Amino acid sequence: MSQVKIGVLVSGSGTNLQSIIDSINSGDINGKITVVISNKKDAYGLERAKQHDINAVFVNEKDYNNIESFNDSIIEILKENKVELVVLAGYLKILSSKFIGLYRNKIINIHPSLIPSFCGKGYYGLKVHEAAINYGVKISGASVHFVDENADTGPIIMQETVNVDYNDTSESLQQKILKVEHKLLPLAIKYYCEGRIEVVGRKTLITSK
């Protein structure tokens, strides 16, 4: 089976990107990252890509008249790099309907909560963990899902929980969940690259090899 060509979109430090790179380098993922794209010029994720000789591209939203043309530019870069799977690894921009339509069930996102809790518009970064702690939940976690036209509403691929302790802060909970994210996202990508994820309506099935 040939390697799946992966494009990763980042907005920040790229720790999830690093976990994917590490899993590819160890042979766990039968894929190759052909491009990393960021909407932030100083995103450390771009530097991580360069350190591993991966094409790193900054796309400035201010250079475009609207969100559609901004997304069209990213689509063209993905096509130029023959991307078959798009991974959002801490990417904080909304994708256009055209983008999602072109890559239906080929865009994977990681979210730091147990969807459908603490997700959707406005829930990103520490805000997710603040909301979980303020609500008083006893467990939280991470969710890997396919991306559809709305925020965090696509079919869920995998989830894993962590305990929320009484003395947890948003920062300490974030660190707990990051450890889960760094395991869960590469695993979901591994299964995708092996052709083991089936989507039926809102449900996904991970098949055996």
At 6, the amino acid letter reads I
What DSSP element (H or E) covers 200? strand 197-200
Q: How many CB atoms lie within 10 A of CB 123?
A: 20
Q: Tokens in use for 90?
A: 């801490």
Phi, psi of 65, rounded to the nearest 5 degrees: -75, -30
Residues 6+ apart with CB under 8 A from 26: none
Q: Does the active-site annotation cover 129?
A: no
What DSSP character marks residue 166? T
Q: Out of 52, 111, 129, 182, pick the active-site residue.
A: 111
Q: Give catalytic residues, as residue numbers.
A: 111
